[in-house]
Chains A and B, each alone.
Chain A
């Protein structure tokens, strides 16, 4: 068992910053100063505090995004009923207690935008990349703490701009989260494409700046600031997933930025990158013609597809770590896990056009994208088999985080397999733009990524706040969310197989889809309940911060990774004394006669076989 880094430190010593400053002047570029409220909680440069800021902001957005979905599900499930509270909440957007069709589109658009960018990119990657990278690679902080702080505040700025779009008179963006022009370019086409869409584009541009500042920092830290002995093949899978996520972001977000800029030009400067032969509102737009809205789709999905991996890769990393710790077993096939992530990351750049099989593209081009898309299934399958092999013959401790990790694997299987229908252009003709797609991506990258997020929060909460979350509430939260998510999204496959298109305010206007009403009502009811039940997580999260059981052991989950060698309440700079040296890979669980665990800081015994160097 570990000895080199197990410091028993008194509360006093933890906060005695001068001590490690004195020891580690070479590592830390900060200077001795008193923490004020502002420097500690607001403009903090401590990666741990920034992580918590991302997390709390992410939770705020998740509540807003979830509320949006509850509202539009009420419309879909109960299209003929009027609810007074909708009028009180939405004002003139819900006259007589019924959501206005344009505002319905705004709700759908904002739900998607918020969840994809603000919650599952900012909230997930922002939280755990910030929190775990320095702690798990053995660094005092990020490569640039100042840029890191800036990254968070750009995120806040972007959030403020996005949130303000709820309050403009023409409403928030309503062209779908993919904001395809011309719909998103023409205020005459839908009200939300006025000021609301403008704010959307500015907000996303700011978000991209935030993501890039964060991403560059993550990559720099992982590549340059690993502690002695921490080779790339001794990194926990969490770090590998954050590294690849950051690289994907750095390479793809700039394309989204250019894509958004051109749209801003089309909207405000009279250019026509995306506009062509449009007649709207009684006049032909003769000045703005000759562009192509298909160009927008290519640019958008060049980010858009890597984006889904930006969302899911960190979740995969967190789940891999939690599964190994909970099952008391090494993650099965460590190198294959890294290899499959590399393959997924690489392939994610060359599959984007599978979102566009019915855009009229050349069938040959389409077929190339079919091949590349279905190849992704292979590394994904390897990951699933390796997770299952990890728990096989383990000794699983069921905690809320291990339940969420197992739930993640189940969801990833279910949602991943339906991707094989959609990735095959032939079947895609029938299923694209229907609820089958909605079901697919919500399970595989929506709910699954949320499960990774939850697993991460329950697991690292003691490290973040020095207290435990309540387990019973965690179990209830898990089972309600897990069963509820399947009840919500599984039936949507059937609606898709009945041909029901997405973005429909109601489906009773067609004979073909009219009979899906009862099922929609069921889905909506469950969705509202599951949304409300998230209150158990919210209460647990904030209540435990102040009243939760205190952490008394330095390493409560008996994990091998470096973050558990820091003091329970790790100071800015993370370690009191020297940064520990790493001697082995992070998965030596049950190595000695099926028991115990060996931390990364434990030197190899004479004659001990080393798997990874």
Chain B
């Protein structure tokens, strides 16, 4: 019933507007084209003039109003650089935005057709055009130079002492892998993936046996962290919004991103004034039905806290191969399977 009423009201409103428009058109025909244009020209000019301040003030007001909802202060070192380039760009573009929008609407109003006023035949002015080519070019150079200065710093190779974590995306969650005691991530092979071996770790490689696959992503404050990002199926995007990190997860082509967390979760909670605050890892590349829910909790800790946490984690090998007997037999079985696969490929 309500639907019918709503539809009825909408149809009624539309037909009223339509009738009014039809009548006004008839009135303007009666008044004559010149007179009606004069009347409407003033009204429309004024409407554009009124629109301008409302629009510009609305822009400023809304930016201030929603500022609290923006991403909080960056939680990584390079995030501050990104924010600074963002702010520089905001100042430059903001200036241009206000000047050009004001000029556009002011001129539209000021130079509306009026009796006794003439247009100026003014087809070009090379000097002026040269200046407004050069000045934007200078601004662009400033933006490019600042941007690229930080771009090279952000994408520089990870320092040797960086902590290495591998993160693999799959429909629809993330798998994080830490190297374990040996500091090495063991080999993996997508043909070995099964329910008990989500990453397809190659148990023949000793280095896999102490690898840890926890359910949360733990990072160490102040420690450069290199994530190696992979995907198991379709494209995903490793998105840590608070750290200003995004990098595609491409099947078969590992990508890397190096960043340094600046605050622990606890410190961040104080900074944002929210005792329940948590960092989150999201997926930013459309990847299917549950793309919107492909998240992982992220915890930033001090080195000591991290060391204690990782000590408690069992190597994935132990969960994947529960009974010791199976554990012994498994590599051989896997090897056989592997060989079978290789045969198959040939």
Contact = CB atoms under 8 A, between A and B. Distances in A.
Indicate, yes or no, whether A interacts with B. yes
A94 to B, nearest CB: 15
B233 A278 contact: yes
Contacts of A370: 144, 147-148, 151
B282 A393 contact: no
A330 B41 contact: no
B133 A382 contact: yes
B113 interface: yes
Nearest to A108: B286
A183 B123 contact: no
Interface residues of A, number: 129
B152 to A, nearest CB: 6
Contact of B71 (A180, A497, A595): A497
Contact of A509 (B103, B128, B277, B293): B293
B82 A590 contact: no
B295 interface: yes
B120 A490 contact: no
Interface in B97-147: 97, 100-101, 103-105, 107-108, 111-114, 117-125, 128-129, 132-133, 136-137, 140, 143-144, 147
B151 A475 contact: no
A175 B285 CA distance: 10
B251 interface: yes
A549 interface: yes
Interface stretch (A135-143, A205-213, A422-430): A422-430
Interface in A159-180: 175-176, 180
Interface string B147-161: 110111011000000
Contacts of B151: 363, 366-367, 370, 425-426
Interface in A377-397: 377-378, 381-382, 384-389, 391-397
Contacts of A382: 129, 132-133, 136
Given A280-B233, A359-B248, A427-B82, A549 B25 contact: yes
B278 A276 contact: no
Contacts of A510: 280, 282, 295
A277 B190 contact: yes
Given A293-B235, A413-B101, A505-B292, A420 B66 contact: no
A171 B40 CA distance: 49
B40 A398 contact: yes
A54 B253 CA distance: 43
Contacts of B332: none
Interface stretch (B12-20, B203-211, B215-223, B309-317): B12-20
B285 A433 contact: yes
B97 to A, nearest CB: 6
Contacts of A417: 93, 96-97
Contact of A327 (B44, B111, B143, B147): B111
B301 to A, nearest CB: 19
Interface stretch (A3-11, A122-130, A249-257, A532-540): A532-540
A593 interface: yes
A84 B3 contact: yes
A292 B136 contact: no
Given A388-B103, A397-B41, A512 B117 contact: no
B255 interface: yes
Contact of A279 (B81, B90, B121, B190): B190
Interface in A258-305: 275-280, 284, 286, 289-294
B234 A189 contact: yes
B297 to A, nearest CB: 10
A39 interface: no
A367 B37 contact: no
A52 interface: no
B108 A509 contact: no
Contacts of B184: none
Contacts of A540: 21
Interface string B217-260: 00000000000010011110101011011111011110110000
Interface string A500-530: 0111111101111001100100000000000
A421 B86 contact: yes
A511 B269 CA distance: 13
A328 B113 contact: yes
Contacts of B247: 358, 360
B214 interface: no
A410 B104 contact: yes
A389 B29 CA distance: 33
Contact of A426 (B82, B119, B235): B82
A433 B345 CA distance: 37
B100 A388 contact: yes
Q: Which of A371, A429, A498, A502 has the most CB of B within 10 A?
A: A429
Contacts of A535: 14
Contacts of A454: none
Nearest to B68: A515
Interface string A544-569: 00000100000000000000000000
Given A186-B234, A388-B104, A398-B41, A367 B118 contact: no
B113 to A, nearest CB: 5
Contacts of B71: 430, 497-499, 512
A371 B85 CA distance: 15
23 contacts: A183-B288, A186-B233, A278-B233, A327-B111, A330-B121, A334-B123, A336-B124, A359-B248, A370-B144, A378-B136, A382-B129, A385-B100, A388-B103, A393-B120, A420-B89, A491-B66, A498-B70, A501-B239, A502-B286, A509-B293, A512-B241, A589-B119, A595-B118
Interface of A: 84-85, 101-102, 105, 175-176, 180-183, 186, 189-190, 275-280, 284, 286, 289-294, 327-336, 358-360, 363, 366-367, 370-371, 374-375, 377-378, 381-382, 384-389, 391-398, 403, 406, 409-410, 413-414, 417-418, 420-421, 424-427, 429-430, 432-434, 470-473, 475-476, 479, 482-483, 486, 490-491, 494, 497-499, 501-507, 509-512, 515-516, 519, 532, 535-536, 539-540, 549, 587, 589-591, 593-595, 611
4 shortest interchain CB distances as A-B pairs: A276-B252, A594-B118, A360-B255, A499-B241
